[in-house]
Amino acid sequence: MEYINQFFIDFIDILNEMSPYLMLGFLFAGILKVAFPQKFIDKYLGQKNGKSVLYAALLGIPLPLCSCGVIPTGISFYKSGASKGSSVSFLISTPQTGVDSILVTYSLLGLPFAIIRPFIALLTGLFGGMLTNHFDKDEKEIPVQNTDSCCSTEKESDCGCNGKCNTETKKKKSPLYTMFKYAFVDFLQDISKWLIIGLLLAAVISVLIPDDFFSAYIGNDFIGMLVILVASIPLYICATSSVPVAAILMMKGISPGAALVFLMAGPATNAATITVLNKVLGKKTMWSYLLSIVTGALLFGLLIDNVFPREWFTMGALHDHMGAHEGHWMLPDWLRWGSSIALVLLIINGYLQKYISGKNKLKSTDPEIAVNKKLVIVNGMSCNHCKNSVEKHIGAMKNITLAEVNLEQKLLQLEGNNIDLQIIKKELESLGFEFGGEVKNKN
C-alpha cells in the first residue's frame, strides 16, 4: 500500500511540474502550425547541398512532431523532391526537440539541458544529412512532384478542383481556430498516449528503483551511457515524455551524460523508423542516420560528464521528492494545479473525440455500393500526421477523387475511377505504412 501511495504522489508531483510548461508548449506548437504551413516547409529542402541540410535541421528543431509523426512527414519531403540528406537531417533533428519538449526540459532538468538539446539536435542533424549526401552523391536526383496545388495547401475550400481535394465540404477556418485546434486537439491527441506512458514509467521507476541503484551496480559513467544507448535505440518514446523518465533516472544515479543519451536516442530512434528508412531510403541512408545519432549521443554525453561543469546539469534535476528546484523560480501552486487539471481534461476530451469519430466516420460506407468506392486497411498509422500524409499523397494520385482516413479503425476510404489497389499498396509502402488489404462487403 505504501508503494501505491508513493506512486500516486510522485505521479502527481511530476505532472504538476510539467503541465504549465507543457500547456505553453502546446500553444507555441499551434502558433508554429499557423506561421509555418506545410508549403513553406517543403520549399527549402530540395537540393543536395549543405544549405538544404541546414534548413531541414533548423525547420525540424521547433516543430512538435512525435517519433511516429516525423516518419511520414520526412518521407513525404523526400517524395516531394527533398534530397536524402535534408530528409535525414529533418528525421534526426525533429524528434529530439520541439517547443513543448524544450519547455518541459527546462521545468524538470533546468536551463542548461534546455539549451543544449536543440543545439545538439542541430549538429547531429547537420552531420547526418551531410554524411547521407556524401554516401549518396552518385545517385540521380528524384523528380520533384508538384506540391503547389491547392490540394497540398490548407486552402482546400478555395481551390475548385472538382473533388480532388480530400473533402469538398471543408470550410476555411480562421488562423486562431486552426492554432487552438492543432495545439489542444490534434497535436495533443498525437502525443497523449506516449505522454501518459512516460509519466507512468517515471513514477514507477521513482518508486521501485533504489536511489543508489546505478551508482551501486553501474559505477562507470561511460558503461552507463552504453547501457542506456542500447536500451534507447529500439525504444518508442517522444521527446516530451522522455524528459520525466530522464529526470527520474538521474535521481537514481545515472550521470547527466547518460541522461542526455536517453534524451537523444530515445526519441530519435525506434524500430519503426529504422525499418522504414532501410526500406524507403536504402541501407546506406539508414546506417548514416544511426551512426549520426549514436556518435552524437556518446560524444555530447562524454562532454557533459567530463568537460562541462557537472553541476550545470544536476542543479535543475528533480530532487527532494520533486518538491522544489534549485535551478529556477518555482511556479505558484494554483498555476501548477490548474494546468494539470486542464491538461487532464484536454486529454480526456481528445480520447472522447477519437472514440466518437471512430464510431461515426465511415460507419455507413459500403465499399461495394459502386465500383468507384473502396475501403482498405492501412497499418502503421498512429497519429494525425500519419493520417494527413496518407490523405495528401493518396488523394493526389491519378484517378483518386477522395482519400479519407479513419485513424481509429486504420481504414482508408477511396473514391475514384479504375482504382488499382496494387498502385495504392506501393504508394502506402513507400510512405512507410503497411497495406492491410481491401475490406470486403460482408453481405
* Grid coordinates of 330: 518555482
Higher pLDDT residue, 41 or 256?
A: 256
pLDDT in tens, 187-203: 788 778 877 887 888 78
pLDDT in tens, 386-402: 888 888 888 888 888 88
For the chain, the average pLDDT equals: 78
What pLDDT band is residue 369 in, cutting at 50, 70 and 90? very low
Mean pLDDT value across residues 264-276: 81
Residue 217: per-residue pLDDT: 65
Residue 240: per-residue pLDDT: 83
Identify the bridge partners of residue 435 per DSSP, sorted by sequence position.
378
Residue 137: per-residue pLDDT: 64
Lowest mean pLDDT among 121-130, 324-333, 401-410: 324-333
What pLDDT band is residue 125 in, cutting at 50, 70 and 90? very high
Residue 45: per-residue pLDDT: 66
Higher pLDDT residue, 359 or 240?
A: 240
Beta carbons of 194 and 383 less than 8 angstroms apart? no
Q: Give the pTM.
A: 0.70
Lowest mean pLDDT among 133-147, 236-250, 415-429: 133-147
Higher pLDDT residue, 115 or 182?
A: 115
Quick one: CA dihedral 294, 125, 387, 342, positive or negative?
positive
Higher pLDDT residue, 164 or 352?
A: 352
What pLDDT band is residue 296 in, cutting at 50, 70 and 90? very high
Higher pLDDT residue, 36 or 369?
A: 36
Q: Inform me whether the pLDDT recorded for 78 exceeds 60.
A: yes
Mean pLDDT value across residues 50-70: 80
Residue 46: per-residue pLDDT: 60
Lowest mean pLDDT among 52-56, 68-72, 98-102, 280-284: 68-72
- The length of the chain is 443
Lowest mean pLDDT among 73-77, 146-150, 262-266: 146-150
First to last CA, the chain: 53
Q: Inform me whether the pLDDT recorded for 166 exceeds 60.
A: no
Residue 35: per-residue pLDDT: 76
pLDDT in tens, 216-233: 667 678 888 998 888 888
* Grid coordinates of 169: 465540404
- From the list 192, 188, 68, 156, the residue with the least C-alpha distance to 404 is 156
Q: Inform me whether the pLDDT recorded for 429 exceeds 90.
A: no
pLDDT in tens, 229-253: 888 887 777 788 888 888 888 888 8
Q: Inform me whether the pLDDT recorded for 291 exceeds 90.
A: yes
Q: Inform me whether the pLDDT recorded for 300 exceeds 90.
A: yes
Residue 169: per-residue pLDDT: 42
What pLDDT band is residue 419 in, cutting at 50, 70 and 90? confident
Higher pLDDT residue, 320 or 186?
A: 186
Lowest mean pLDDT among 78-82, 85-89, 432-436: 78-82
Residue 341: per-residue pLDDT: 94
Mean pLDDT value across residues 59-75: 75
Mean pLDDT value across residues 308-324: 63
Can you tell me the distance from the alpha carbon of 104 to that of 110, in angstroms, rounded to the nearest whole number? Answer: 9
